Structures are given as C-alpha cells and as structure tokens.
C-alpha cells in the first residue's frame, strides 16, 4: 500500500505538470493530444522517480524552445531547416525519440526500487540525465550549427563541404553548441543535487564530466548515423536532397528514396544515438 508521503508525491507529480502542460499548449510546442499526452506521462514518471529528473526534463524542454525561438530569424538557419523533417511543434514520435530512453529507464527504476530513488549518482540515474544531455547536445548543435556562415564539412570526408542542415555535416559552431548543450544539463544536475543535499559534495563533481561526455558522444553518434544509415530523399520537383518524405511546392509532391535505410528516419537516428551513448555509462560507472 501507498503511505501518506507516497500519495503526496503522486499528487504533486500531477499538479506540477499542469502549468507546464498549459504553457506548452499555449506556445504550441506540443501536438494535441499525442505529443501532449506523451510529454505528460514522461513528466509524471520522472517526477515520481525523483523531482530532480523532472527538473532536468524541464531544462531540456525550455532551453531548446528558447534557443529555437531566439534563432528563428537567422537566414542561414531558415535555409537549413528546409532540409529538416519537421517544424517546431513536437509530436508523439519526436517526444519518444528524445525522452523514450529516460522513460524506459525511469519505469525500470520504479519497478525495481519504488518511488523517490535517493541515490542520485547511481548508474541508472546518471543514464537518465545523460540521455537528456545527448538530446540537448543534438538540439543545440542543430540550433547553433545551422547559423554558421560557413557550410559544414562531411563527417566521413572533412575535405568535402555539404549544405547547412545536412545530417552528417559538422561545423565548429555546431560542435561548440553540442558541448554547451550537454554541459548545461550536467551542471544543472550537480547543482540540483547540491541543493537537495544542502551541501556541495566534491564526489559529485566527476558527474559533470561524465554526463557532458556522454551527451557529446550521443551527438557524435547522431551525426555518424545521419551520414550513413539515415534515410535520404530527393524531391522530383526542385531536385533537392531532403529528409522529408514530401515537399510542398504548388501542391504536395512525394519525394523519392535515394539513400540510407528507408525506416531510419531522423527520429530513429535520435533514439538510437541517445540510447547507445547513455548506455555507455555502464562502462564508466
């Protein structure tokens, strides 16, 4: 049976997600009802594992939203985003691609140890944070990298330049973006631990390096998969290479599959790169 404190935790888990859900709804950052429900379930689950994990989800979500609004006027980025598969509103698949690893691990923590897991430096807890570091690294790399004046180089052949926004492209700005995006998540996690413990314990400092490393690793794997197995299409109308399954010119035009594995969409690439990077935590901790 649930005791008194557990019931309060579950109730708070619902209550804290209400204003966030309302804000996301007003800002149209989630599709309704799919993206909305997926985010609510992941938010609630993380909260009852530990409210710090929920705060990390919030930082991932808000920092990437702010960054994408901030850069939206940049002409280089606008040009690059024509290649991208989707716009700013996140649907259920995008939510799962970015938060699915954290959700699965959170459920297994609940199953194994119950509510409010206190050992914040345990591998499974670091895995959850690292998955958000990887998701944030990738988002920031794209947001910042696409504003670069210089076209990125191809990860498999650095002498070759590719158009901005191409999966598999690497730029200095994008790499710095991925490092900062990951570092932000890592630093916040250790700061939250210090606030939670009401003391700054040096034994948590290595977590900053570990989480940042895993996040950047995820971004690197993402780029590598983007260059190799990710599905590529070509528009028969404007002849441009794209990740989109269709283009809208005067009317909707279906694009032709020209490379990579057809089912390996950008969302699959995100999920696989986040999972493989954050699972690496078991080799470190």
Shortest Å, Cβ 82 to Zn ion: 9
- For residue 122, give both structure tokens: 């345990």
Shortest Å, Cβ 247 to Zn ion: 3
Cβ within 8 Å of residue 135, ≥6 positions away: 60, 98, 99, 218, 270, 274
The C-alpha atoms of residue 225 and residue 140 are separated, in whole angstroms, by 18
Report the residue number, 62 or 234, with the smaller CB distance to Zn ion: 234
Report the residue number, 26 or 249, with the smaller CB distance to Zn ion: 249
Report the sign of the C-alpha dihedral through residues 12, 33, 137, 64, in that order. Answer: negative
Nearest residue to 44 (alpha-carbon basis) of 17, 63, 71: 17
Report the residue number, 90 or 247, with the smaller CB distance to Zn ion: 247
Shortest Å, Cβ 87 to Zn ion: 16
- Which residues here bind Zn ion, judged by CB under 5 A? 235, 237-238, 247
Cα R_g (the chain), whole angstroms: 19
Shortest Å, Cβ 243 to Zn ion: 12
CA atoms within 13 A on the CB side of 12: 15
How many Cβ atoms are within 10 Å of 31's Cβ, its own excluded?
18
* Cβ–Cβ < 8 Å for 151, 166: no
Shortest Å, Cβ 222 to Zn ion: 25
Q: Which helix (H) or strand (E) holds 258?
A: strand 256-259
Report the residue number, 237 or 276, with the smaller CB distance to Zn ion: 237
Report the residue number, 235 or 268, with the smaller CB distance to Zn ion: 235
The C-alpha atoms of residue 188 and residue 203 are separated, in whole angstroms, by 16
Report the residue number, 138 or 243, with the smaller CB distance to Zn ion: 243
Shortest Å, Cβ 223 to Zn ion: 24
Residue, CB closest to Zn ion: 235
């Amino acid at each position: 049976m649930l005791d008194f404190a557990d019931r309060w935790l579950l109730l708070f888990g619902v209550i804290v997600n209400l204003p966030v859900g309302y804000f996301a709804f007003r800002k149209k950052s989630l599709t309704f009802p799919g993206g909305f429900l997926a985010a609510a379930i992941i938010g609630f689950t993380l909260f009852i594992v530990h409210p710090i994990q929920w705060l990390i989800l919030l930082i991932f979500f808000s920092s990437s939203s702010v960054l994408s609004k901030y850069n939206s006027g940049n002409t280089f980025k606008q040009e690059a985003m024509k290649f991208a598969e989707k716009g700013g509103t996140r649907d259920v698949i995008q939510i799962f691609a970015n938060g699915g690893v954290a959700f699965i691990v959170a459920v297994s923590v609940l199953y194994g140890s119950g509510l409010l897991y206190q050992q914040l430096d345990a591998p499974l807890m670091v895995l959850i944070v690292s998955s958000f570091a990887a998701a944030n690294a990738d988002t920031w790399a794209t947001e910042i990298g696409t504003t670069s004046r210089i076209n990125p180089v191809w990860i498999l052949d650095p002498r070759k330049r590719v158009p901005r926004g191409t999966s598999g492209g690497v730029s200095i700005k994008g790499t710095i973006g991925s490092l900062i995006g990951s570092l932000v998540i890592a630093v916040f996690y250790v700061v939250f631990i210090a606030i939670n413990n009401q003391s700054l314990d040096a034994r948590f400092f290595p977590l900053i390096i570990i989480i940042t490393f895993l996040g950047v690793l995820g971004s690197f794997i993402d780029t590598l998969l983007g260059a190799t197995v990710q599905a590529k299409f070509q528009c028969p109308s404007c002849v441009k290479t794209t990740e989109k399954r269709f283009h809208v010119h005067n009317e909707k035009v279906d694009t032709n599959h020209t490379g990579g594995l057809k089912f390996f969409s950008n969302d699959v690439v995100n999920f696989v790169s986040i999972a493989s990077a954050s699972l690496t935590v078991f080799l470190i901790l």
